[in-house]
Structure 1
Amino acid sequence: MSEDQKKLLETQLWNIANELRGKMDADEFRDYILGFIFYKYLSEKQHIYANKLLETERIKEYTLITSEEDLDFIKEESVLKLGYFLRPEELFTAIATKGNADKEVQDNFILEDLQSILNNIEQSTMGTESEEDFNKLFEDLDLSSTKLGRSVEARNNLIAKVLGHLDEIDFNLEDADSDILGNAYEYLIGQFASGAGKKAGEFYTPQQVSKILAKLVTSDKKRLKSVYDPTCGSGSLLLRVAKEVKVDDFYGQELNRTTYNLARMNMILHDVHYRHFDLQQEDTLRDPQHLNERFEAIVANPPFSAKWPGKKNPLFENDERFSQYGKLAPSSKADFAFVQHMIYQLSENGTIACVLPHGVLFRGSAEGTIRKYLIEKLNYLDAVIGLPANIFYGTSIPTCILVISKCRVNDDNILFIDASESYEKDGNKNKLTETHIEKIVDTYRKRQTIDKFSYVAPLEEIQENDFNLNIPRYVDTFEEEEPVDINAVMKEIKSLEAQRTELDKEIEGYFQELGINF
């Protein structure tokens, strides 16, 4: 897909989204437009697969099949292969065509049909291996919401219009190498994040940050058996890792139900088979769902300084994830609790790359104790990377990336990178460019000391600093100002004074000509 085609598609999708934009908040109309795109995807995959099954049959076009016996066969095969089933009359094009028909000629009311179809997709998975992956996947698409229109007719017209516009777009799903729809979905998620304010941080990590995290955990790798995100949001960060290397299986956990649905859709839209992802919806710290699993790569952008029970829940004191560190993370800041959880889930040959607020680098008390244990006893901390301020949605604070590994090659030092000035303005936000990203990743992989950018700090130096990891202690970015030539400045001042005297004389002459007392 060319860059021009990509931009055209993005424009088309954003224009369609704008049909809903004036009626509800960004995070609400996001759920409708992404849900409808997902339904279109499922329909087209069903249509393509059914036609493939019919290649040797007399009737080769799925939409012409009326025999219930044939449909039962296609359903059985589809549920095994795709994980779900849609009848010919339930396909996206059929419902979009009906909704946009001339109501003088035929009935164009589709709301009940559409709701029934969405329910049937879920029903088709009941009792099968894919049931959990499709369970209540469309629950956020409330077709009776008055935000879509005050009357039933208004809601029907709006939804039919949106479906009609989407039906005109070819996502080219028959091309096995094409990821047009997946890329379009990512584009829309990013657009919604930029307009959703503080709520955006709940479901989306900016792509430039995702790219850095993905490249860090895939250094020297060509394939990963598993990748895990304990706060997976929309799943975009997990999928970003798969753009760097081949990933066999994806694991994630997400607290927010709507975001969890978004993540499952995102996986399926990127053609990740339901057998190769396991996403769960629960609180990761209180109720971890993959505790018996160990992962080769872990990426995360946990909620910054979130509250958690900590000491208030005695069970955490004996929890294997936290007990060895001597202290629990403070209940007002769960940052290190997420780090400890990830370390517990990391395989012996694995790497973690996670985004955290700068406070984890230098805050004392319990966090200082945990930080010291992580460095001195475990020696898992591989690198600390400072990012620019104002690059995340919902917050302008500067952040850092911790790279953690259980099998460190360079186990006698820690690499510090100060990329806080590596950005360009992007509207009211800051953005890392490809050049910035490449420099950060290249510096990490080569483990270089670069003046005013990076420093390889011996563990002895870390210890001398009482395990304080504040980046300016290790990377000196101070720029000396050029010395001021006092004599030259005084000479300039005298010259300006002389010019002003001449100017005063000239002005006085004008005033005298006008008869005004200067």
Structure 2
Amino acid sequence: MSEEQKNRLQAQLWAICNYLRGKMSGDEFRDYILGFIFYKFLSEQLYLIAEKTLEADGIDYAKIDDSDPDMAALIEAVREEAVDALGYHLAPGQLFRNVVARIEADADAFVLGDVQAVLNDIEKSSRGEESEDDFVHLFEDMDLSSSKLGKTPDVRNTVVKEILRQLSKIDFRMDEVEADVLGDSYEYLISNFASSGGKKAGEFYTPQRVSEILSRIVSLGKTELKSVYDPTCGSGSLLLRVSRHVQKVGRYYGQEFNRTTFNLARMNMILHKVHYKDFDIKQDDTLENPQHREQRFEAIVANPPFSLDWSANPLHLNDDRFSSFGRLAPKTKADMAFIQHMLFQLADNGTAAVVVPHGVLFRGAAEGHIRQHIIREMNALDAVIGLPQNLFFGTGIPTAILVFKKCRKDSEHVLFIDASRDFAKGKNQNTLRSADVRKIIDTLDTRSSIDKYSHLASLDEIRENDYNLNIPRYVDTFEEEDAIDLMAVQAERAEIEQTIAGLNEQMAGYLREIGYVS
């Protein structure tokens, strides 16, 4: 698929979103639009499996009558193949194309209940199967009886039919090698919802360029990763971004507290054709109830909610994640708690990269104690990267990326990078450019000291700064103003005065000529 075709697909999908704009808030119609796209995707995926299964019989699965007992064996054969390969099943009559065909054949067709039943049956088809955890309650945010879609059932039915009809006009091109195009388009929609979603948007989406930096950091020097983990995975886009920088990711792990966003992450994984056996996304509070405690991960990426409240329950001092530090992060600022959690889950050969607010670099008390322990006792801090302000949805604060490794090659230094001045200014939000990302990664890879951009600080230097990581302490970005040439200024002033005097003389002569003055 060409870039032009990809852009057209994205424009078509966003146009469908605009159909619901004004009917409900962005975060509400997001769930319906993305859910229907996902339904069509699942339907087309299953149809491909059915074609292969029934190829020898010469039967089109979409044309099978569900109620024909002579077809039961064939439907069962497709079910077995589909559940094993995809994790779910759809009967012929439940295929997206057949639902749309009924809508086109009968303008008055009432399909609301049928569509809701199809969505419910997709989930039910995975029950008792290995894929159950990845499909259970997946469509729970798509309540087609909700007044959000319309005040009456007839209005809601009209809305749903129009969405399905518009989606039917879009070719998802399921048989192409570049099937990731649909997944990318899905992420495009997620990004658009985030950019227009206001303050809460950052809860489920990390800006693409920031995701790229994090994913390239954890994959530097590697062609394969056994595992990648995001303890606050949002829509899962950050996890998926890592796969673009290595040839293979063995397994994806993530945890997300928000139920709706958790469903979005699972859909996103499946839409990017990550097999249900190759991802493990859990829903719960990561700090209070971690779901992957026994695993250790080769790559960890995270953009946790900034300065989130958490329990800071003293009982956590008995938790292996926090006990060695002797202190807990403040109740009103869980940033360090997330870092402690990530360090606990990090494999000895792994790399972790996390976005933090600048306060994490220099705040004292318990946070200062934890920061000192990480640097002095664990020697796990590898780099500090300052980012421009106003990059994230819903907040304009400047942020930084902290890079951690348990077994560091350069164990005597920490690299500081000040990339805060390299960005493209936007009306509502600033963005990093490709060159800005490349400069950060190249500097990190070579661990170079660049005037007014980066500095390789010794551990002694950090200790002398009392473990304060505020970037200006290490990277001097002060620009001296050029010395003023007084003689040149005076000469320029004399020239200006001479020009003014000449103009005054010309004006006076003109006024005398016309008799205005004697």
TM-score normalised per structure 2: 0.95
Do the aligned partners of 2:53 and 2:77 also contact (CA within 8 Å) in 1?
Answer: no
Greater mean alpha carbon deviation, residues 57-66 or residues 324-333: 57-66
TM-superposed deviation, 1:426: 3.2
Mapped to 2, the partners of 1:33 and 1:113 lie a distance apart of 18
* Counterpart Cα distance in 2 of 1:117 and 1:60: 20
What corresponds to 1:258 in structure 2? Answer: 260
Matches within 5 A, 1:363-512: 363-500=363-500
**Aligned match of 1:319:** 319
1:422–1:436 CA contact under 8 A, matched in 2: yes
Q: Map of 1:271-420 to 2, 5 A cutoff?
A: 271-310=273-312, 313-420=313-420
1:149 and 1:501, CA in 2 relative to 1: closer, same or farther beyond 3 A? farther
Alignment partners' CA distance in 1, 2:514 and 2:267:
81
Whether 2:145 is the aligned partner of 1:141: answer no
SS in 2 for 1:243: helix
Alpha-carbon distance change, 515 to 134 in structure 1, aligned in 2, over 3 angstroms? farther
Q: Does 1:234 find its partner at 2:238?
A: no
Equivalents in 1 of 2:187, 2:371: separation in Å?
35
| 1:160 to 2:178 alignment | no
User: Does the aligned pair in 2 maintain the 1:100–1:160 contact within 8 Å?
Assistant: no
Secondary structure at 1:185's aligned position in 2? helix
**Alignment deviations for residues 402-439 of structure 1 (CA, whole Å, 9 cap, x no partner):** 11001111101001111111111233211111111111
CA distance in 1, matches of 2:77, 2:268: 28
Deviations 1:278-318 (A, max 9, x none): 111111101111111111110000001111111xx221121
Q: Structure 1 residues 119, 61: closer, same or farther in 2, change over 3 A?
A: closer
Residue 76 of structure 1 is matched in structure 2 by: 80
Per-residue Cα deviation, 1:144-192 (whole angstroms, up to 9, x for no partner): 2223222322221221111111111111112244212101101111111
Distance in 1 between residues matched to 2:413 and 2:202, nearest whole Å: 33
Distance in 2, matches of 1:511 and 1:164, equals 80
Q: Which of 91, 97, 103 is 2:95 aligned to?
A: 91
Contact 1:97 1:164 in 2 (8 A): no
Report how far residue 454 of structure 1 moved: 1.0
For structure 1, list consecutive stretches of 5 or more residues without a partner in the other structure.
none
Q: Taking structure 1 as reference, are residues 514 and 62 closer, same or farther at Cα in structure 2, changes over 3 Å only?
A: same
Map of 1:174 onto structure 2 = 175
Moved more, 57-66 or 41-50: 57-66
Relative to structure 1, the CA distance from residue 127 to residue 61 in structure 2 (aligned partners, 3 Å threshold; closer, same or farther) is closer
Which residue in 1 is equivalent to 2:119? 118
Q: Which moved more, 1:427-436 or 1:144-153?
A: 144-153
Q: Cα RMSD (Å) of the superposition?
A: 1.9
Contact residue 355 and residue 400 of structure 2 kept, 8 A: yes
Q: Classify the secondary structure of the residue corresponding to 1:431.
A: coil
Cα distance between partner residues in 1 of 2:90 and 2:506: 90
- CA drift of 1:323 comes to 1.4
Partner of 1:483, secondary structure, is: coil
Q: CA deviation at 1:234?
A: 0.1
CA distance in 2, matches of 1:12, 1:504: 67
1:51 touches 1:62 (CA, 8 Å); kept in 2? no
The answer on 1:209 being equivalent to 2:215 is: no
Closer/same/farther in 2, CA of residues 498 and 138 from structure 1, 3 Å limit: same
Give the stretch that moved more between structures: 211-220 or 174-183: 174-183
Q: Residue 260 of structure 1 aligns to a residue in which SS?
A: helix
2:354 is paired with a residue whose SS is strand
2: CA distance, partners of 1:331 / 1:513: 85
Report the TM-score, using the length of structure 1 for normalisation: 0.95
Match of 1:185 in 2: 186
- Take 2:510 and 2:13, find their aligned partners in 1: how far apart are those partners? 67
SS at 1:136's partner residue? coil
CA distance in 2 between counterparts of 1:371 and 1:233 reads 26
CA distance in 2, matches of 1:490, 1:35: 72
* Shift in Å, 1:249: 0.6
Q: Secondary structure in 2 aligned to 1:468?
A: coil
The answer to whether the 8 A contact 2:62-2:95 is kept is no
| Residue identity matched to 1:289 | Q
Paired residues in the alignment total: 512
Distance 2:157 2:181 in 1: 28
Task: Name the structure 2 match of 1:40.
Answer: 40
Distance in structure 2 (CA, Å) of the matches to 1:275 and 1:286: 26
**Kindly tell me: are residues 70 and 457 of structure 1, through their superposed partners in 2, closer, same or farther at Cα, counting changes over 3 Å?**
same
The whole-number CA distance in structure 2 between the counterparts of 1:252 and 1:292 is: 14
Structure 1 residue 500 displacement after superposition: 4.8
The question of whether the paired residues in 2 share the 8 Å contact of 1:348 and 1:406 is answered with: yes
Deviations 1:346-401 (A, max 9, x none): 11111101100111111111111111110111001011111111111011111100
Residue 222 of structure 2 aligns to a residue whose secondary structure is coil
Q: What SS does the aligned partner of 2:56 have?
A: coil
Shift in alpha-carbon separation, 1:230–1:511, aligned structure 2, 3 A: farther
Q: Is the 8 A contact 2:348 2:407 kept in 1?
A: yes
2:232 partner amino acid: T
Alpha carbons 2:62, 2:98 under 8 Å: kept: no
User: In 1, Cα distance between the equivalents of 2:5 and 2:58?
Assistant: 37
User: 2:3: which partner in 1?
Assistant: 3
User: 2: CA distance between counterparts of 1:393 and 1:440?
Assistant: 22
Structure 2 counterpart of 1:84, one-letter code: Y
The verdict on how the C-alpha distance between 1:504 and 1:187 changes in structure 2, with shifts beyond 3 A counting, is: same
| Partner Cα distance (1:408, 1:177) in 2 | 37
1:301–1:511 CA distance, 2 compared to 1 (3 A): farther
Shift of 1:61: 4.0
Which moves more between the two structures, 61-70 or 415-424? 61-70
Secondary structure in 1 matching 2:244? coil
TM-aligned CA deviation for residue 254 of structure 1: 0.5
CA 1:506–1:240 in 2, change beyond 3 Å: closer, same or farther? same
Identify the range of structure 1 (360-369 vs 63-72) with the bigger mean alpha-carbon deviation. 63-72
Give the partner amino acid of 1:69. A
1:465: how far off? Answer: 1.1
Matches of 1:36 and 1:510 in 2, distance apart?
A: 81
In structure 2, the gaps of 5 or more residues are none
> Which range is displaced more, 503-512 or 163-172?
503-512
